[in-house]
Amino acid sequence: MASPGPGDIAQYVEEVIHIYRVMQGTKYLSVIASTILLVDMITTLPSEIVYIWGSSWTFVRIMFHINRAFSLVLLGTRLALFMYRLTEEVGISLSLFYTYGTIFVMCIITSVLIVRIWLIYGKKTWFLLVLIASALGVTVPTLVLFQISLMKSQWIPNPAPDVITACLFTPNPIAFLPYITGLLYETLIFSLTVYKTWKLNRQSMTTPLIIRLFTDGSSYYVVVVLSGIFTCLGALHPLISGAAIGSGWLLAMMSSMCSRLILSTRAFYNKDEDLTNDFVSHEMESLPRVPPRSDPESTTVSSFIQMGRPGFDYSWPYQDPLDVRAPNSPHFARRRSGEYSRDEKC
């Protein structure tokens, strides 16, 4: 058997150096992503205790806890990036758990976004079915293609087990596909939010709630889309493909922003009231609709309520914050009991 020549040795060294650089970049970005997620969990823990722990068990709360816990577990598997001499069985098991776990968390976050936009559009059954069908139409074919390509990937023996950590696999040419389809669906959800905000604004029905939903949705979309673009484009570059796909960066960003999305909405509703057991029922309410009014004065007051003046009470029936009459007066008593004369109705 002929001994390797200088050309073979140089090629071997070049390959080891390339793999080492790719792995180092993946490890560094993984540490950054894990740190961001942990810091976000710690800084939002007081809000979580107030707005989540004391509330009833709803769909949103269950998804919140799954997102928090499972994302942390998945990033914990990235510790394998720092381990030497991983066996083939361990390497394959950890890689599959991370891959499918990431897809699972993305589905959890998508379900929260679906519920959110469904409530914004008035909890219409047909609209919810369209959202679910569109999500399945995008996700199922993508997962089938991804599974086929994943089955073609093979484990590669580590050429320098004392220098290179973790485990190596043959490149997956469509590893970025689930992220692209995910970005497309995120864009659809955000576009629906923008359209609803624009429509209500044209009808002079913009309220603080609408502004909060639009602001939170915009922040989530910008962060997630930028992270997704980095993941998709980075997967095409040989030097940063490992960091883009295997570091958990997009997972950390989506998990953090989804948690903040839920906490921000609950904080808005609890801004001026104590947390009660039925507090989270607000999350299952559609946006307020304006009752029909017949006289011009009523229309003026109704429009004033919809405009969302800061610090005023927008509950119905409307109570004028500038009214100095005592709360126990007959006028206010009739308001609480729902008895109005024709002239008093607003």
Per-residue pLDDT reduced to its tens digit, 155-171: 888 888 888 888 888 88
> Residue 178, preceding bond cis, omega within 30 degrees?
no
What stretches of 126-265 adopt beta strand conformation (E)?
Answer: 155-156, 168-169
What does the pLDDT read at residue 2? 54
Which two structure tokens, joined as six digits, stand for 139? 């996700």
Higher per-residue pLDDT: 129 or 329: 129
% the chain with pLDDT above 70: 75
What does the pLDDT read at residue 171? 83
Q: In angstroms, what is the C-alpha Rg of the chain?
A: 27
Mean pLDDT along residues 303-329: 41
* Helix, strand or coil, per DSSP, at residue 328: coil
% the chain with pLDDT above 90: 37
Q: Where are the domains of the chain?
A: 12-282, 296-337
Which two structure tokens, joined as six digits, stand for 195? 């359209």
Residue indicated by tokens 């942390």: 72
Mean pLDDT along residues 256-283: 68
Per-residue pLDDT reduced to its tens digit, 4-17: 656 668 887 888 89
Distance, in Å, from the CA atom of 294 to the CA atom of 346, rounded to the nearest integer, reads 10
In sequence order, what are the residues at sequence separation of 6 or more whose Cβ sits closer than 8 angstroms to the Cβ of residue 48?
A: 259, 263
In sequence order, what are the residues at sequence separation of 6 or more whose Cβ sits closer than 8 angstroms to the Cβ of residue 58?
A: 280, 283, 284
Are the beta carbons of 172 and 149 closer than 8 angstroms?
Answer: yes
pLDDT-based confidence at residue 76 (cuts at 50, 70, 90): confident
Query: pTM for the complete prediction?
Result: 0.75
Q: Which CATH architecture has domain 12-282?
A: Up-down Bundle (1.20)
Half-sphere CA count of 165, side-chain side, radius 13 A: 15
Higher per-residue pLDDT: 178 or 299: 178
pLDDT at 207 over 80: no
Neighbours of 41 (CB within 10 A): 16
Distance, in Å, from the CA atom of 4 to the CA atom of 20, rounded to the nearest integer, reads 22
Segment holding 84, helix H or strand E: none
Mean pLDDT along residues 251-271: 89
What is the signed CA dihedral for 105, 106, 111, 113, rounded to 10 degrees? 120
Mean pLDDT along residues 63-68: 95
What is the signed CA dihedral for 105, 111, 113, 118, rounded to 10 degrees? 180
Higher per-residue pLDDT: 178 or 328: 178
